[in-house]
Amino acid sequence: MLKSLSVNARIFLVVAVGFGVFAIAASADFQAPNVHQGYAPEQPIAYSHRTHAGELGIDCLYCHYGARTSPVAGIPATGLCMNCHATVTAGLDAVVAEREQAEAESRPAATILSPEIAKLWAAQGLDVNGQPAGEPHPIPWVRVHNLPDFVAFDHSVHVNRGLACATCHGPVQTMERVRQESDLSMGWCLDCHRGKAADPTLVLNAEHGRLPAGEHVSTDCSACHY
Amino acid sequence: MTTPSEQHWFKDPDAHRSAVGSRADDRAASREGHADARDTQFDRRSFLRLVGFSVAAAGVSGCSPAPPQTVMALFEPPVEIVPGRAYWIATTSWADGSGSGVLVRCRDGRPIKVEGNPSHPVNQGGLTAACQASLLALYDSHRFDGPRRDGAAATWDEVDTAVRAKLDEVRSAGGTVRLLTSTLTGPSTLEQIDALLASVPDGRHVMYDALSCSALLDAQQALRGVRVLPRYDFSRAKVLAAFDADVLGTWISPAGFAADRQQARDVHAEPPRMSRHWQLEARLSLTGTRADRRVRLAPWETTAALAELGSELAGFAGVTAPGPRPDASALPQATRTALHELAQELWAQRTESLVVCGTNARDAQLLTAWINAQLGSEGTTFHLDTPSLQRQGDDAALQRLRDELLTGAVDLLIVAGANPAYDLPDFAEALGQAGTLVSLASLPDETSALATIVCPEPHELERWDDAEPIAGLYSTTQPTVPALRDTRTLRASLARWRGDARDDRELLVDHWRRELDSRRPSPRTGFDAWFHAVLERGWTELPSAQPFRPAAFRPAPVAAALTRIAANAGAPADGALGLVLHPKVGLLDGRGAHNPWLQELPDPVTKVVWDNHVDLSPATAERLGLRTGDIVTVSATDDAPSADLTLPVLVQPGQDDRVAAIALGYGRAGTDRFTAVGPEWLQGRRTVEPGGTIGANVAPWLRWRAGALDYSGRTVRLTATGGRHELAITQDHHNLSVPAHLAPPGGEVRDAVRLVTFPQLQADPEHVLGGGHTPVGELWDDDHIPAGHHWGMAIDLSACTGCSACVVGCQAENNIPVVGRDEVRRHREMSWLRIDRYYADQPDGGVDVVHQPMMCQHCAHAPCETVCPVLATMHSSEGLNTQVYNRCVGTRYCANNCPYKTRRFNWFDYAHDDQLLNMVLNPEVTIRSRGVMEKCSLCVQRIQGAKALAGREGRELADGDIQTACQQSCPTRAITFGDLNDPNSALSRRIATGRSYRALEELNVQPGVHYLADVRNDAGSKGGGHG
Amino acid sequence: MVEMQVPRTGIVLDAPGDHDTHAAHEPPLITGGKTPADVTRDVCSPLEAGPTRLWWFAFGAALLALLVGAVCVTYQVAVGIGTWGLNRTVGWAFDITNFVFWVGIGHAGTLISAVLLLMRQRWRTSINRSAEAMTIFAVMCAGLFPLIHMGRPWLAHWVFPYPNMRGPLWVNFRSPLLWDVFAIGTYFTISAVFWYIGLLPDLATVRDRARGLRRRVFTFFSLGWNGSARTWARWEMACLLLAALATPLVVSVHSVVSMDFATAVIPGWHTTVFPPYFVIGAVFSGFAMVLTLMLIARRVMALQDYITPRHINAMCKVVVFTGSIVGTAYAMELFIAWYSGSPYEQFAFANRVFGPMGWAYGIMVGCNVLVPQLLWLKRVRASVAAIFTISLLVNVGMWFERFVIIVTSLQRDFLPSSWTGYAPTLIELGTLLGSFGLFFTCFLLFCRFLPMIAMAEVRAVVAEKPHAHHGEPDPEGTEPIRRDASADIGLMHYAAFDAADDLLAATRAARRQGLTVVDAHTPHPVHGLDKAMGLRRSRLPFVTLACGAAGAALALRFQYWTSSSDWPLDVGGKPFDSLPAFVPVAFEVMVLLAGLGTAGALLVRSRLRPGGSGIPAPEGCTDDRYVLIVRRHDASASDAAIDELWSRHAAADRWTEYRSC
């Protein structure tokens, strides 16, 4: 097919393709902050948001309580996990199985500790029997949503305006392992701030009633960059 | 952490190359906790581990694939700390020796800003530069980490055993124990001191102040029977005369004094007030720059002048002076005339006038007290029944201690909170004679270098303490962060050496429970609740342990003093100059010398950084053929031997022609740590050479005279060495007028600073500035008027003293880097807020001085905005001129086009290598990388924070919710921030006054920062008197 | 349709009357009695011989300077702008001084090519090639500085408005720096295009003389140039159009550069006289640099016969003329500052003249105003040494002019508290040296590898016999050459002539005999040949017009859209839709698209493409032979008649070929 083209056309084609490749490369390299989109790193503990937020229906703000009052949502302290996991130590079937077995063997049921929760206990300085063993140490969670350091994002401002967590973080309650749902690019932020969000319920301006009167959603640079 | 499958998760290259740097933001949980903090490689991760929480944000720049950022979770949920949310802790700061109340802003378990406590009686919300900068000292990685013995690291057990052994030895052998400290007021500490000293046969506590007021105390002792510092109330002084006292800059309690003085000069009050302020001094002090009349008075003339003044007042009163009227003919005629006028003014306002004297000479202080007694202003402008305890040093006792030391009579000397080897003359040798020297320095210093045992004290932001800066005012100190270093307070150390193993807090609380609780007038709550309330507020008022009952005035010592006055005693011989040694606003006695913020704080008068120098008046410099930067040898012409000094000259207008002035506090050992401050490059010069010091120490030139340290009694001769030293000065041209040979006929004065007189203001407050510039209309419709908030600022030049507290406040708040001496020489200082200081020569050789804080003016028609090609700077809908660091490519066009030259460019990447020091960074402000422009943002982070808070609390933003860092720090409330669109805001009300104008208004850039014209008592009244 | 009054005489052959009047009292432009063949030999032989020792020496020095500059720039980019002597008050100094200086140098090339072309100045032919090359290299040097002066040059692409994920966030079309981006970009592109288009015939000449690798390279770059009369006609039109575009462009570029200062508020910058003052200063400095280079080149490259006293004289006159205007501008500046009544303005100029950098002002006035006045003297204009010295001094003076404007204005502006001084660092000095290194390295390479005199145009000058082409009228009424494919196929009769006049006469005769004139191949554009052949007027102007209109409309629309509807941002309180601010970029984009469109249309229409694939040039017709190709048309003429025609017109050679494509 190429043969049928004149030399000029062929040259044009080569140049155009070259430009195209460059443009794509350049846009990926120079401008797209969304290279993180879809990021779903493996975590030190296979914590399932689907189980906790989805099946158990635990409110996001129960663990990430900072989002209400602070710029940062925060990673829950392990102590918070232990509110439940001091007693909830493994999946129900495993516990029931052990209990039945123990009953059958007429002995007191042993504590069944799932391997993942064992890591939590270890971080608390507890051994599998819940006895103190070693120093408590923090769990090195891998951060999923990373904004550049020159962006000031305040969770509390958004949460207190009634914004749902899922608006930005996506359906976390369905995610076994959390991934970055939105691209978190500046344009993506601005879409909402300009009232042009893909989700029509997110028209965020005073006229549409999502904000107290007298307040406006700012598109000032200084709203986020300072 | 990086697994191959994660390799492709690049950070956005734009993002990290543009990485304007890191927001030192730890978005994670936090909790107070405790752990070891001994890593010298102290990075944020170890800090966070230390306080038991948080994040380790991995590298934010660099082109390699960023490793995944790890977030550390806590063990226990925090109770009081919400990650990322700031909270405040009330405490007390002695960094400037005043015991000011401070509020410490903390985030994620660490303090990030020190601000004045508005409710605190000492400083009333303002805070000096030195106190604000003390935050940086907390994160000083050079601090001692743990006790040392014989120069090597030791354990607390080892040193305690050694000290206890020594004490036992002293007890059994009947030796002497001396405790040498700076002024200590904390009752819980004094209790321990008393207890320890009581346990040994011969124990004594000697207090001294490097900036001594000993003679003042001695005079009160002699005249009134109480050795205390009067508590001055400048707010009541309608006429104030300060002899050689830098009341607004460095003397005793400058922030509080400035606030008080401002009340007496409040032109907004009803009726407007305008006190008269006389300053009689040899060198031009900060206070001198703000006086209505300034009389140049050589040091050896001070007592004669005071005697003349006192005698004059006695004449007015029609009473016989207690002593002979000394012959004042040695005083220049102009001075005598001025003193006569002063006497009349003081007498006219007797009972509401005040004379203070900063000269540390007994006679001068006796005469001052006599003058005040004649004025009858006790109870209004000063108080002796509730005196100030901020200075209690006793130079005579100190001198005795030195003699004891030299004879080898001191077996154990414990030095705490003081550095006698540095700041006292010939004391190093004496210290060497102590049997055992124990130093409680927290940073290696000249004294700790001589010490056998070093038991470092914690920084005041990480310890429990109490204080009584003013009799009956109990001010608390509490930790804002778990101790970063292995340290122990004096109180705890003393207790431990007596065998009391209680911890520090217990000792303090126990003392309060036993001693202070009972003094509560009507306890309605239990001790714990009360104590917590006190801690929360930071201070409380209780009756003093021992009430001060000054006796009636005894004239005899005054009579003696009057007879002692000899004409011109101490005047230099021909060709010699009197030497005036004085503290600078930042470094004071040298305690701030290891603090780069203070080293790089332009002196409010000289604008010099990173150096001390020999100040000479222009006439003297001309006579000696010296220019600024010429290096001279300073040699003594009096009988006291002192090693010659080599220092550069600075020509200082307004100074007495007969003196040379040199700042104390320089030449501290270890200041060669600043070798690495500032960028290193081909033509870059080091801030200090390895092994060198910043400036030269002049403390050895102090002299003991009549039982007091004499700061201005020496005479010297200057010899040019022919060498040059380029001083780093932030301002090159010092006049508002252009150089004469370039000016149009008649001269040209730029009216960036405007002055009105008080009579003018009273006559027509609305139009006091005249018509001003009438706008001629716009070429286009202004369609950008902020509809909601319109942030702006007003700066009252009549209130601004130039004290530079705002400069440090801004630096701390906005993560402004320190750039080093060479960069300042190259005029690349980074401060967003500078204070322009202009001189106007007066016919008699004096100078008129104005200070003008200058920062980004947030112009509505900002010239910087139109020229930026990439939209890195533009206007926000709330009237802010915004600088977006991450968008900036660094053309510097905006800075060129700024008429105010308030934009600052990052010429290099300024060092952020010291991980411990980095913890001082405000997480709410981006750290700028090299190649980007920055400037005052009107503390936009505070605006956004306040808006978020108001939103959380479901209320509207109220006037006063937002205070900028400079505004907050200002002792005289010269700066007002607010909403221009709110007609009732404090800002709008200020701007509505007739004194309001805008700098360079005629350019029609429409600045959002307004100035209120300086108010003078009368035109051209300043600087009278002799030169 | 209105006939456009585009001169049809082409760019070389001026109106004969013009020539006559000059010829009466002026020495010839080209001396030494050169023939077109001589021109080819004289210009090409230096390229074909090995470089001289002098060349190697100069090249080595230039390369060394370039190396120093490269090291300095690398160091500066690696360490920071702090390695320059700038400070918080003086934010620009050497960087923008060098930028404006080099842009100014770059003005002479386009001026000589374009303005003098439009003004029918024949003397430009000998120097325009090197002047254009100089322009391109100077603009390259200039463009370097805005790039490296950025705090973060690796983000320089942010000055281009490209779609992005930041909102998108565009650029500030109100910033003169952005206008610079477009102005300099357009200027460089159009200058390069103009230069390359003009170079094509000469590249073909070199190609046809070369063998081996050089031949292959030149074959690639000469785009199959074959000297066809049709191509020449379009080429002349394209050159004329590009010249017409480049003339306002050259004015706009330095006007825009001057607006970096004129639109600022800084006293000493904020001056409406700057655009014309900068343009004339640029011409002044550009001509001085051309003089410098030409005086060296004619000596080193032995081109005394081509760059003759007449050329030098003419350039001297331009220098003294523009220098005098510059002097007037300096005086006006002072007058206006005084007359303004603004104390800031008055001080700025008092400070400029008598302030701490008064010495720089002295150098500026001395070198730019006083020294060039010597050129009024004929004696001085006759002395190569004097002219060379003066031209060097003017270059120095013009550098200082920019330095004075930038540094003295910045160092002491409104608030005396911020007044500072300025001193350059070694890095800045090295970078300045490096820019000269870059310039001379490029120029020396150019001298070595490309014909530095426009051979085709000079051939036309030497070949022209002023009265000849009026000898016979052009055939009337005959049909123009058809451009359908069949016209080019068949048996072709070739004839080669030694003189353009013979070709012309033969062409006319052939057409009168009813032969189809297929084409002619000539070593230079032959005046009147298009008419003689009955060629239709080129339609390139319509392409130019369409592209230009599209460019302007696009740029305006884009600026309005980004600035006032896509993301209106409050910039200095200016209206979102501020037309005056959008004019510069709209103009530059208009010129850019028009120029590229014109050049593109020429290449496409004339089937010029890398390597070439069209009809090869008959032998010698890129040197000194004129070849005519005719074809018998039905029974118009017998072969014998054609033969007779050739003989009658003194054909040097004749042959036939069957052309099948």
- Same-domain pairing of B63 and B156: no
- C-alpha dihedral, C261 to C266 to C272 to C277, nearest 10°: -50
Phi, psi angle pair for C122, to nearest 5°: -70, -25
Whether B82 has its CB under 8 Å from any CB of chain A: the answer is yes
Instruction: Out of B729, B745, B769, pick the residue that ends a domain.
Output: B729
pLDDT tens digit sequence for C32-80: 777 888 888 888 888 888 888 888 999 999 999 999 999 999 999 999 9
Q: How far apart are CA B93 and CA B81, in angstroms?
A: 23
Chain A, 99 to 158: residues with Cβ < 8 Å from chain B are: 123-125, 136, 138-143, 146, 148-152, 154, 156-157
- DSSP string of C574-592? --SS-HHHHHHHHHHHHHH
Q: How many residues does chain C have?
A: 661
Which tokens hold the place of B921? 């960074």
Nearest by CB to A78, which of B23, B69, B73?
A: B73
Contact (CB<8Å) B952/A156: yes
Phi, psi angle pair for B256, to nearest 5°: -65, -40
Per CB-CB distance under 8 Å, the chain C contacts of B866 are 172, 174-175, 263, 571-572, 574
pLDDT at residue C479 tops 60: no
Identify the burial level of B647 via C-beta atoms within 10 angstroms of its C-beta, where 0-12 means exposed, 13-18 middle and 19 or more buried: buried
- Same-domain pairing of B289 and B354: yes
Question: To the nearest whole number, what is the mean pLDDT of chain C?
Answer: 86
State the complex-level ipTM.
Answer: 0.89
Phi, psi angle pair for B203, to nearest 5°: -120, 140
Nearest by CB to A34, which of C165, C567, C609?
A: C165
Residue of A nearest to B925 (CA): A226
Preferred mutation among B8, B12, B864 to probe A, highest tally of A CBs within 10 A: B12
- Same-domain pairing of B118 and B181: no
- Mean pLDDT for the stretch of residues C493-506: 87
- Same-domain pairing of B121 and B152: no
Nearest by CB to B908, which of C80, C176, C569?
A: C80
User: Which residues pair with residue B54 across a beta bridge?
Assistant: B72
Contact (CB<8Å) C169/A32: no
Number of H helices, E strands in chain B: 28, 43
Contact (CB<8Å) C151/B930: yes
Q: How far apart are CA B714 and CA B643, in angstroms?
A: 13
Whether C610 has its CB under 8 Å from any CB of chain A: the answer is yes
Which tokens hold the place of B118? 């508005």
DSSP B851: E
Distance from CA of C164 to the nearest CA of A (A): 6
Residue of B nearest to A74 (CA): B28
Could you tell me which chains touch chain B, where touching means 3 or more CB pairs under 8 A? A, C
- Same-domain pairing of B21 and B55: yes
- The pLDDT of residue B49: 41
Instruction: Out of B371, B388, B405, pick the residue that ends a domain.
Output: B388
Cα–chain center distance at C434: 23
- Same-domain pairing of B131 and B155: no
User: Which residues pair with residue B378 across a beta bridge?
Assistant: B382
Per-residue pLDDT of chain A (226 residues; tens, 9 = 90+): 445 555 556 666 777 777 677 666 555 444 444 457 888 888 999 999 999 999 999 999 888 988 888 888 888 888 888 888 888 888 888 888 888 888 888 888 777 888 888 888 888 888 888 788 888 888 888 888 888 888 999 998 888 877 888 888 989 999 999 998 888 888 888 888 877 665 555 544 434 445 554 556 788 899 999 8
Q: How far apart are CA C438 and CA C432, in angstroms?
A: 10
Residue ranges covered by each domain of chain C: 267-412
Q: Please report whether residue B203 resides in a domain.
A: yes
Which residues have C-beta within 8 Å of that of residue C69, sequence separation ≥ 6? C430, C431, C432, C433, C434, C435, C437, C438
- Same-domain pairing of B203 and B318: no
Instruction: Output the CA torsion sign for C45, C49, C50, C52.
Output: negative
Contact (CB<8Å) A186/C167: yes
- The pLDDT of residue A96: 85
Residue of A nearest to B26 (CA): A72
- The pLDDT of residue B78: 56
CA distances from C555 to B453, C558, C567, C601 (A): 77, 5, 17, 21
- The pLDDT of residue B64: 32
- DSSP string of B648-674? EEEE-TTS-TTEEEEESS-S-TTGGGG
Contact (CB<8Å) B866/C355: no
pLDDT tens digit sequence for C564-593: 888 889 998 888 888 899 999 999 999 999
Contact (CB<8Å) C578/B891: no
pLDDT at residue C91 tops 90: yes
Whether C154 has its CB under 8 Å from any CB of chain A: the answer is no
Distance from CA of B15 to the nearest CA of C (A): 11
Which domain, by its residues, includes B233? Answer: 229-388
Instruction: Out of B729, B744, B759, pick the residue that ends a domain.
Output: B729
Q: Please report whether residue B745 resides in a domain.
A: no
- Same-domain pairing of B344 and B402: no
Q: How far apart are CA B544 and CA B385, in angstroms?
A: 10
Per CB-CB distance under 8 Å, the chain C contacts of B604 are none
pLDDT at residue C514 tops 70: yes
- The pLDDT of residue A82: 85
Which tokens hold the place of B372? 């005040």
CATH number, domain with residue B352: 3.40.228.10
Q: Which residue type does B781 have?
A: D
Whether C568 has its CB under 8 Å from any CB of chain B: the answer is no
Chain C, 248 to 307: residues with Cβ < 8 Å from chain B are: 260, 263-266
* C-beta of residue C529 within 8 angstroms of C-beta of residue C522: yes
Q: Please report whether residue B553 resides in a domain.
A: no
- The pLDDT of residue A143: 87
Contact (CB<8Å) C149/B891: yes
Residue of B nearest to A145 (CA): B69
Whether C425 has its CB under 8 Å from any CB of chain B: the answer is yes
Omega before C168 cis (within 30°)?
yes
Residue with tokens 């006229």: A207
Contact (CB<8Å) B941/A215: no
Preferred mutation among A3, A5, A8 to probe C, highest tally of C CBs within 10 A: A8
- Same-domain pairing of B994 and B853: yes
Per the structure, the count of domains in chain B is 5
Whether C185 has its CB under 8 Å from any CB of chain B: the answer is no
- DSSP string of B868-890? -TT--EEE-TTS-EEE-GGG---
- Same-domain pairing of B21 and B57: yes
Nearest by CB to C609, which of A8, A33, A186?
A: A8
**How are the residues of chain A apportioned to helix, strand and coil, as percentages rounded to the nearest 5?**
50, 0, 50
- The pLDDT of residue A190: 86
Which tokens hold the place of B407? 């004879």
- Same-domain pairing of B249 and B359: yes
- C530/B39: higher pLDDT: C530
Cβ pairs A/C, distance under 8 A: 35
b/e for C618-645, b at 16 or more Cβ within 10 A? bebbbbbbbbbbbbbeeeebeeeebbeb
Consecutive 10-residue averages of pLDDT for chain B (1027 residues): 32 32 35 32 43 34 44 59 85 92 90 93 93 93 92 92 92 91 93 92 92 93 92 93 94 93 91 92 93 92 92 89 83 92 92 93 93 91 92 93 91 93 89 91 93 94 92 92 91 92 91 90 85 92 87 91 80 89 92 93 94 94 94 90 91 93 93 90 91 92 90 92 94 87 80 90 85 67 81 95 94 94 94 93 82 94 94 92 93 95 93 85 91 94 91 86 94 94 93 91 91 83 35
Q: How far apart are CA B873 and CA B227, in angstroms?
A: 59
Chain C, 355 to 414: residues with Cβ < 8 Å from chain B are: 355, 410, 412-414
- Same-domain pairing of B320 and B413: no
Residue of A nearest to C568 (CA): A219
Whether B83 has its CB under 8 Å from any CB of chain A: the answer is yes
Residue with tokens 């002048």: B305
Chain C, 331 to 360: residues with Cβ < 8 Å from chain B are: 343, 346-347, 350-351, 354-355
Per CB-CB distance under 8 Å, the chain C contacts of A7 are 609, 611, 613
Instruction: Output the CA torsion sign for B235, B241, B243, B249.
Output: positive
Nearest by CB to C157, which of A30, A32, A190?
A: A30
